[in-house]
Structure 1
Amino acid sequence: MLKRLAVALVAMVVGFSPLTPQIARADAPYWQCVTFARLTSGIEIRGDAWTWWQSAQGNYRTGSEPEVGSVLVFRPTGRMTRGHVAVVSEILTDRVIRITHANWGGSRGKIEENVTVADVSDAGDWSAVKVWYAPINDLGSSVYPVYGFVHNERLGGSTLIASLPSALG
């Protein structure tokens, strides 16, 4: 219980920091989460977001620990029937990260940068997360199940070089 309160406190402090999520310009192209994650991370997986976890098996290193540049793969649930993918942009604590992703919630087709995500799983294994919701300046009330992280390293040892597109800045 104390660990969850600590995670919530860190997320609140981070949410009020000057690095709160930024939404892309209105004239920016319409982005899908999969296209954005593939281009940003360099991970060459195609198909709906929920298929990334299975597609990564045997091809990319996967796990339950975030790394900058890895892709967080959300399970399909509720209105998010195709899942979701997001690129880890920063690790703040063992249970709080920032992601950059596209086509989420009220930002349809837009890119959101440095969005706070907190691990709220009982085991601390990143199997369930809450995502920062800017309109209320807090973590949203929804808990999203996730598969884990696909890392930008092909099995066999080659790390892919990828960075956020310069058009974001």
Structure 2
Amino acid sequence: MFVTASRRFGLILALFAAPLPAAASILDYVGQCVPFARAASGVQIYGDAWTWWDQAEGRYPRGHAPRIGAVVAFARSDKLRLGHVAVVSRIVEKRVLMLTHANWSREDGRRGFVEQDVTLFDVSPDNDWSQVRVWYKGVTGLGGSTYAVHGFIYGPKGASTPQLSARQPDYVGSLIDAYAQ
């Protein structure tokens, strides 16, 4: 069957214009941290993760105290060339919280997957969440790196997705990750 160039172009456009099937859960998302954090928190900021802190100024409240549903804005570094953003899913205690994020640990050698309720440990000298260690699947515990954090961006009240945290998160495991190093 002969298909003209214009007909072929029309078929290709139709394929790209078709809506993508919706994921059953935000936890099924595979991709970068930024679109995940935006969808999970309600904070509508675009661009590389390292730019979120400055972009939030004047648009969203910011601070240094964790809140459920807040975005943790990691600073740019040699290890995080584009920064990183994650969403607070549980507060365990003063220096330990759980976060849900995408594109951190490797799964079957690939990145992009969502991890729910992983440990974030405040290791800053002043207990101000400016330096943290993050749970990493590859070592099944806190990774060996310390990361600088700008702080927390607080999204619209009630905008974060209820799927951020599991029904029975492992609080004890999170405390062990943090303090039994």
Partner of 1:66, secondary structure, is: coil
More strand by share: 1
Matching residue's letter, 1:59: R
Deviation at 1:141, TM superposition (A): 1.0
Match of 2:129 in 1: 126
Match of 2:116 in 1: 113
Normalised by the size of structure 2, how large is the TM-score? 0.70
Distance, in Å, in 2 between the alignment partners of 1:165 and 1:120 is 27
Match of 2:104 in 1: 104
Q: Percent identical across equivalent pairs?
A: 45
Match of 1:40 in 2: 40
More helix by share: 2
> RCO (CA 8 Å, sep 6+): is it higher in 1 or 2?
1
Distance, in Å, in 2 between the alignment partners of 1:29 and 1:92 is 25
- What residue ranges of structure 1 are gaps of 5+ in the alignment? 1-27, 154-158
Greater Cα radius of gyration, structure 1 or 2: 2
Matches within 5 A, 1:66-105: 66-105=66-105
Deviation at 1:80, TM superposition (A): 1.2
Partner of 1:55, secondary structure, is: helix
Is the Cα–Cα contact under 8 Å of residues 66 and 149 in structure 1 kept in the other structure? Answer: yes
Is the Cα–Cα contact under 8 Å of residues 106 and 137 in structure 2 kept in the other structure? Answer: no
Match of 1:163 in 2: 161
> Which of 122, 139, 144 is residue 142 of structure 2 equivalent to?
139
Indicate how the Cα distance of structure 1 residues 135 and 79 shifts in structure 2: closer, same or farther if over 3 A, else same: closer
Matching residue's letter, 2:145: S
Is the Cα–Cα contact under 8 Å of residues 43 and 160 in structure 1 kept in the other structure? Answer: no
- What residue ranges of structure 2 are gaps of 5+ in the alignment? 1-27, 168-181
Partner of 1:104, secondary structure, is: coil
Partner of 1:37, secondary structure, is: helix
**Pairs aligned (count):** 137
Deviation at 1:136, TM superposition (A): 2.9
Match of 1:17 in 2: none
Indicate how the Cα distance of structure 1 residues 100 and 29 shifts in structure 2: closer, same or farther if over 3 A, else same: closer
Q: CA RMSD in A?
A: 2.1
Distance, in Å, in 2 between the alignment partners of 1:72 and 1:112 is 15
Partner of 1:98, secondary structure, is: strand
